[in-house]
A and B are shown apart, each in its own frame.
Chain A
């Protein structure tokens, strides 16, 4: 994951002309050069014209053209399929014409020849100028205090205002993601923010302390206050013309931010004009509640002088807490250290040293009592000591620093960053146990309870985590961790291997995707269903109505019932979302219908169905296929006739058995009847003789 974060090396130096880069790219063609990608039959993306200076850490840039307007300069970012993108933000930004934001022209999955599969593609207007800062270590020309308001503050604050109005955050505001949109270098705009999870590519220095403590993938969408902090850092860089902490590593930066405060770390020793100090103090305030907001910035832009915020740092202890050879003087710093040395931290907490330090050195009796209570409950109740201890430390870390991310055995993420974190872990096929454990043990609930102020978003998230827990506790297709993955990542494409090269992010794309995949990979082998855990979970998460009951039926031990349930779901989706014809998918189903047709007992009915289904396959109608197979009247008739036939068979069987068993009795009967018959014959002959004799005698 770290490799994905620091990809800035690929970016070119600031003073390399764009044209030169393009020439270089043309000179060294990439594989599959010459085969362009085509988005919506309108935009041509030139795979042989890469634009490395416009690339993002998780998306390569290529030159693009608009067929309707060939003179329009565009570039396309090709996203990595395994990285979660922000399609909801794309939807918002598409067509948004705001100064300060690079205009997003269009987006969508596109077949990308170099990758040999579909990739999410985002099209932007190509900036005329270049990237403001090539990497976090380069130096640029300082922007003076007279220009910064006009060139930087006004357009970028307007951009943030627009984002706030749209209800989205940028979370990729940094000096290396700022572009000059004009040749004169007068108009600045934020670069792309949709090709990777929120704040994933942000250097630690550009993030708030809370966000910096989280792993990059789990920083979450955050709030616009986070964007304003990043803007503050960016402004500081532009005013200074360099990164003032370029010589420090991430851990030192975080420690310094906690110990001194962000403003002191970035600006303290620099000589800046008073208005700039004022705005930077406001934006770089580490307390999110006190940080300047849009209104305050507006007032400042209008010339109203604000009283500069004094940096507020964590309360310093009267004596240090020694841990792993280092001395810690405040709770936040100690919490970071404890979270990074998980196994060594647990005994300290259990022994009560932390409680003692909190009550005596920090003089926070309330927090000390809370920690003591947590320890007492853990010692008294934990059935599984190891798990209990892990949860204990997690709770203690939340008590020490409530606004910090959720930290659990090396995993660290903000609650709204769990989705991206889970997506990354699952894409890397790493162990998902930690995330599952956090959700199952209701750790987010503890985090939400520890937040002082009520926030509606938190309540919503808490409810979502409760729901996730219920999905996680339910086994079978359509539930489990896969369901959590799609529930938490509304723009994540379906990760099923059945999809092949298809990029499916919405439910309406699922059936066409499976249809294409069925045609391409000849998956219709009669065993593989067009549904696996990912497809089922994707359907469950993306369907607007509650289909959980149908998903449960997918796990039925009776293959016929399970397949009918799947057919039902697909039929509903085809009926509601189209397309009208899904020939390959229908053919795929045809190979699997054995158990469904087998539900009918009547051979005649089966033959009738087997004759009818190929017609529907040619038509590509899953709906009609379902209707044909799920006819309750036919089923009832078939069932009752079968019961009757069974009874008839059994009656015949009984009679055969009886006839065979009666052989001895039959012999006895035959003897009796034979003798009786013989005696009757004898008597009849006697009577006949008497009659004849009488007649002869009389005549």
Chain B
């Protein structure tokens, strides 16, 4: 039995990583296929989104590190800037011409990119605010614990602090 077992080599060690990469690839592929399938039915919408949502795509691909939430924040605000024009398209003339006409207007791109910029601002400002809040609450906790210790020393003397 032991003889039948093969000693795991470097190739065997790399195998799980490959599977994981393959898994991610499948998910992304499915998503792209779904999006690709929808393109023929709403090409004007896709065109509008493809142009106006460029900051979101940039945020998605440009961000590095463990917490990659920029595309959600930027995307949310970016989309909120674009969504009134999308509704105009959907409830107006849903054609490629109309889509190109809208894109030629400066206000559409301005709204989309300005809101995206505002998203970036929010995304960059929030972590320091949270950090300050957490530091402040830790400080409060330490002060409170120290006052408890001081009261204990007042009641019991310095011996209470000895281990």
In the complex, what residue of chain A is closest to B122 when comparing beta carbons? A678
**Residues of A in contact, count (CB < 8 Å):** 42
- Per-position 1/0 for A688-699, Cβ under 8 A of B: 111001100100
A603→B154 CA distance, assembly (Å): 7
* CB–CB B156/A645 < 8 A: yes
* CB–CB B122/A693 < 8 A: no
* CB–CB B131/A676 < 8 A: no
What's the nearest-Cβ distance from chain B to residue A249, in Å?
73
What's the nearest-Cβ distance from chain B to residue A683, in Å?
4
- Per-position 1/0 for A569-582, Cβ under 8 A of B: 00000000000000
* CB–CB B69/A681 < 8 A: no
A672→B130 CA distance, assembly (Å): 9
* CB–CB A682/B76 < 8 A: yes
What's the nearest-Cβ distance from chain A to residue B45, in Å?
14
The answer to whether the Cβ of A318 comes within 8 Å of any Cβ in the partner chain is no
A670→B127 CA distance, assembly (Å): 6
**Assuming A648-B152, A666-B134, A666-B138, is B159 touching A675 (CB within 8 A)?**
no
The answer to whether the Cβ of A591 comes within 8 Å of any Cβ in the partner chain is no
A593→B156 CA distance, assembly (Å): 18
The answer to whether the Cβ of B79 comes within 8 Å of any Cβ in the partner chain is yes
The answer to whether the Cβ of A301 comes within 8 Å of any Cβ in the partner chain is no
Using C-beta atoms within 8 Å of the partner chain, give the interface range for chain B. Answer: 35 or more
A677→B81 CA distance, assembly (Å): 20
**Assuming A666-B134, A673-B130, A685-B76, is B69 touching A679 (CB within 8 A)?**
yes
**Assuming A649-B160, A684-B76, A689-B80, is B142 touching A678 (CB within 8 A)?**
no
A660→B146 CA distance, assembly (Å): 13
The answer to whether the Cβ of A659 comes within 8 Å of any Cβ in the partner chain is yes
| Pick from A652, A686, A689: contact of B149, CB under 8 Å | A652
* CB–CB B128/A693 < 8 A: no
The answer to whether the Cβ of B19 comes within 8 Å of any Cβ in the partner chain is no
- Chain B contacts of A669 at CB under 8 A? 134
| Pick from B75, B80, B134, B160: contact of A645, CB under 8 Å | B160
* CB–CB A646/B122 < 8 A: no
Q: Between A and B, how many residue pairs show CB distances below 8 Å?
A: 139
The answer to whether the Cβ of A674 comes within 8 Å of any Cβ in the partner chain is yes
| Pick from B91, B130, B149, B159: contact of A674, CB under 8 Å | B130
- Chain B contacts of A674 at CB under 8 A? 126-131
The answer to whether the Cβ of A650 comes within 8 Å of any Cβ in the partner chain is yes
In the complex, what residue of chain A is closest to B131 when comparing beta carbons? A670
The answer to whether the Cβ of A655 comes within 8 Å of any Cβ in the partner chain is yes
* CB–CB A685/B69 < 8 A: no
What's the nearest-Cβ distance from chain A to residue B105, in Å?
18
**Assuming A656-B142, A666-B134, is B87 touching A697 (CB within 8 A)?**
yes
The answer to whether the Cβ of B96 comes within 8 Å of any Cβ in the partner chain is no
A191→B107 CA distance, assembly (Å): 141
The answer to whether the Cβ of B163 comes within 8 Å of any Cβ in the partner chain is yes
* CB–CB B123/A670 < 8 A: no
- Per-position 1/0 for A597-629, Cβ under 8 A of B: 000011110000000000000000000000000
The answer to whether the Cβ of A642 comes within 8 Å of any Cβ in the partner chain is yes
* CB–CB B145/A642 < 8 A: no
What's the nearest-Cβ distance from chain B to residue A560, in Å?
13
* CB–CB A656/B146 < 8 A: yes
- Chain A contacts of B122 at CB under 8 A? 678, 681-682
The answer to whether the Cβ of B148 comes within 8 Å of any Cβ in the partner chain is yes
* CB–CB B148/A682 < 8 A: no
A681→B152 CA distance, assembly (Å): 45
What's the nearest-Cβ distance from chain A to residue B37, in Å?
23
Name the residue among A603, A662, A673, A682 with the largest chain B CB count within 10 angstroms: A682
* CB–CB A682/B123 < 8 A: yes
The answer to whether the Cβ of B104 comes within 8 Å of any Cβ in the partner chain is no
* CB–CB B83/A693 < 8 A: yes
* CB–CB B80/A686 < 8 A: yes
- Chain A contacts of B156 at CB under 8 A? 601-603, 642, 645-646
- Chain B contacts of A685 at CB under 8 A? 76-77, 80
* CB–CB A675/B87 < 8 A: no
What's the nearest-Cβ distance from chain B to residue A672, in Å?
5
Q: Can you offer 21 A-B residue contacts whose CB atoms are under 8 A?
A: A601-B156, A604-B155, A645-B160, A649-B152, A649-B161, A653-B161, A666-B131, A671-B127, A672-B67, A674-B127, A675-B123, A676-B67, A679-B70, A681-B122, A682-B75, A682-B76, A685-B76, A686-B83, A689-B80, A689-B83, A693-B87
Sample of 6 further A-B pairs with CB below 8 A, known A602-B156, A674-B128, A682-B72: A667-B131, A683-B73, A685-B77, A686-B75, A690-B83, A694-B87
